[in-house]
Amino acid sequence: MQGKNILLAVSGGIAVYKAVSLTSKLTQAGANVKVMMTPHSTEFVPPLSFQVLSRNDVYTDTFVEKNASVVAHIDLADWADLVIVAPATANLIAKMANGIADDMVSTTLLATEAPIWLAPAMNVHMINHPAVKRNLDQLYKDGVRFIEPEEGYLACGYIGRGRLEEPEKIIARIREHFEQESSRLLGKKVLVTAGGTRENLDPVRYLTNRSSGKMGSRIAEEAMLRGALVTLVTTIRELPVNEKIDVRYVDSADEMYQVVIAEQKKQDAFIMAAAVADYTPIEVSEHKIKKQGDEFVVKMKRTKDILAEVGQTKTNEQVVIGFAAETRDVEAGAKQKLATKKADLIVANNVLTEGAGFGTDTNVVTFYFANGKQMELPLQDKRDVAKKLIDEIETLLGLN
């Protein structure tokens, strides 16, 4: 972080005291830190505290120009290499999501082209409110990234998710960010699939599985952050996707097959994180199927094996990754997939393990490599799993 320009935006919550510590630690790490504060944040901590620790002026008012030769909020916006909003209150999040610029902080955030990271901090009920969730989703689509809050004892007396992440962990994330700026994946093409396919029975019913698409979307995001040109083929339309990712929405296994095969030869790496149906109904009724007695039999046929076809046709320069969601004999299933699909790496998990099932934000996986190597990852956030997987893809591509 030596010499990096970090703009810290502070909004009004009790967690402001952690922002003071963050300023100190960032400065000690060699970063150039400038702080801007909302009017409410100054009720918790005086600007002088940030001024002393950052060794820079603190900005609290859009109409107070400390240097007549520049416009302060534009100058700050252009100066920053990275903007950290900590703590980010529900009020400031709402302003950002809706493009409101009525103070120094919100105006500067609209003007900057630097990456913006939000570190929310609020009551557990507030962070789960539909309006706040809606605003966070919008900001994600706009390209803002998040430093997720911790679970623990909150100032309001509740215990739950909403505590501002500790300064040490925020700094670790910042270090990773600047390390990734010079990523070896810059310009490489990566294709990722995500979500469970839907196989129609009739106009109102379909067969599917529990896959949420979260793991695949985290992988796509991490590859994008490291400079890759990412195409995401997914069945999940509710997941927020960064505008830098080329997203292709599909429904059925056949639709996913068509898109993947059309794009596969252009890619440097292919990650098959989607849960594709193995079978699909032979016949799809034109109208809703009515009740037909005590039993109902659906005749099925095999779908095309996307991973196997990609693995068998890949070039020596391409890397192919598959996923294996198992409920028993995980190692045997993963090794069989490695052999039959001609993959370079299989990411396997037992979906019955707590924290590793479909729809969770965490995972417990083991990497099985074609060369016989194995790597077990303990319970961790899917973003961290994605980072380790992209590390291994860089190695497999010969970029390390």
156 an active-site residue? yes
Closest by Cα among 82, 79, 89 to 38: 89
Closest by Cα among 41, 122, 120, 125 to 88: 120
Indicate if the alpha-carbon torsion angle 256, 259, 264, 269 is positive or negative.
Answer: negative
- Residues 70, 156, 204, 399: which is the catalytic one? 156
Closest by Cα among 377, 332, 334, 379 to 353: 379
Taking the C-alpha atoms of residue 146 and residue 138, their distance in angstroms, rounded to an integer, is: 12
Taking the C-alpha atoms of residue 165 and residue 150, their distance in angstroms, rounded to an integer, is: 6
- Let me know if 315 is exposed, middle or buried by CB neighbors in 10 A (0-12, 13-18, 19+): exposed
The backbone region for 207, taken as left when phi is positive above 0, alpha when psi lies in -120 to 50, beta otherwise, is beta
Indicate if the alpha-carbon torsion angle 222, 227, 232, 236 is positive or negative.
Answer: positive
Tell how strand 116-120 and strand 82-88 pair up. Answer: parallel
Indicate if the alpha-carbon torsion angle 342, 212, 136, 172 is positive or negative.
Answer: negative
- Let me know if 371 is exposed, middle or buried by CB neighbors in 10 A (0-12, 13-18, 19+): exposed
Residue positions counted in the chain: 400
Closest by Cα among 177, 10, 2 to 84: 10
Taking the C-alpha atoms of residue 25 and residue 20, their distance in angstroms, rounded to an integer, is: 9
Catalytic residue numbers, as ranges: 156
